[in-house]
Amino acid sequence: MSQKVELDPRVNAFRTDLADLALKPFVTAEKYVESSIHQCVCGIAPLLQAPDEKAPRVSEIRYGEFVDLLEKRKDGFAWVQNRNDRYVGYIRAEGALNEAIAALMNRVIVLHTFVYEEPSLKAPVQDRLTLGSFVSLDGEEGDFYPLASGGYIFKKHVAPTDEAQTLDYVFTAGQLLGVPYLLGGRTALGLDCSSLVQLALDMAGIDAPRDADQQQELFGHPLPCHWRDVVWKRGDLVFFEKHVGIITDHEHLIHAD
């Protein structure tokens, strides 16, 4: 007999008509499927709540990230789960996903950079990548690296993964000051409160969930006294109702709003 439990649909792929085969012991669906791994090969793929261009953006898939593909629909949308933070949603599949998986040994270390059609700053731009995006390089040409997925990226804008890591996540968060707020955004082109924390921690080598309540459950604990009496330290995460920020000193914090 299967055991039915309450699962968070944000990070578990199930619907009444279709569900991840791995969830069969826990959920009831008309059909179960085994997912296949794909890689995001566009700068940003909006992850939507429903297979509709006007549906709310719940998150984003960044270039280089791996997803589990559960359904490819006739309307061009794909139902996927991000392998990094397990978030589930729909993306436009064309031009965004590739079945060929490339090894990711380098990361983008600037807020954003361009992918050029040729190894020249004067060449047409074919995409834009953002801070933290994993890239697979295929040799080098002058001041550029060819990408395994096509196009060229400026050498100084990428570094090996271990060198790209910035343990001071408060510094990384500070680099993102001025980035516009975007609900569901997850890159240096647009962020929400929890993705600011997620990206800053990610660049420090710390895995963090996507949403503020998930982050609070993982990192948070009740305050021992009134918040005004707390001795705040640089790097403390502060959780409010559906919100999160990063303490920079005893008087300031960085947050997206």
Residue for token pair 């982050």: 215
pLDDT, mean of residues 113-141: 97
For residues 15, 18, 22, 25, the Cα torsion angle rounded to the nearest 10 degrees is: 70
| 106-164 placed in CATH 2.30.30.40 | yes
Contact, 219 vs 226, CB < 8 A?
A: no
Fold of 19-98: SH3 type barrels. (2.30.30)
How many Å from the N-terminal Cα to the C-terminal Cα in the chain? Answer: 47
3-state secondary structure of 67: strand
Per-residue pLDDT tens digits for 150-205: 999 999 999 999 999 999 999 999 999 999 999 999 999 999 999 999 999 999 99
Q: Which helix (H) or strand (E) holds 219?
A: helix 212-219
Say what the pTM is.
Answer: 0.94
* Residue range 177-254, CATH number: 3.90.1720.10
CA–CA gap between residue 202 and residue 109 (Å, rounded): 12
**Quick check: do 19-98 and 177-254 share a fold?**
no
Residue 137 DSSP symbol: B
At residue 193, what are phi and psi to the nearest 5 degrees?
A: -60, -45
Q: Sketch the domain layout of the chain as residue ranges.
A: 19-98, 106-164, 177-254
Q: How confident is the model at residue 3 (pLDDT cuts 50, 70, 90)?
A: low
pLDDT (0 to 100) of residue 226: 82
